[in-house]
Amino acid sequence: MTLQQAQQQVDGWIKTVGVRYFSELTNMAILTEEVGELARIMARTYGDQSFKESDKQKNMAYEMADVLWVLICLANQTGVDLTEALEKNFEKKNIRDAERHQDNEKLK
């Protein structure tokens, strides 16, 4: 699935099953919540915290998909073409960071 297809599928789902988009501000708050849920799993899987019993059923891939879903909603609501935005982001990084990381002693 491409980003464009994902944006179209989310839009179709929202307009049928979901009835309508939540407001942009509500979706921003939901995105923050979803990132927090992902962070919780990351901290327990790769960090020093231990899992609570209630966290053991959580799935990192599902939480990442939740983050992506809400981000796509926000993109759709604000008229952002994520494919174009990502392509421009790659261009920026390829110019700005062309040698930056290769010269970073911390990464060697």
For the chain, list the domains and their CATH numbers. Answer: 3-80 (1.10.287.1080)
Spatial contact of 60 and 38, defined as CB atoms under 8 Å apart = yes
pLDDT band (50, 70, 90) for residue 55: confident
The model's pTM: 0.88
22 CA to centre of own chain:
17
Which token pair is 107? 């990464």
Distance of alpha carbon 38 from alpha carbon 79, whole angstroms: 26
pLDDT one-digit tens code per residue, 4-22: 999 999 999 999 999 999 9
Distance of alpha carbon 37 from alpha carbon 91, whole angstroms: 31
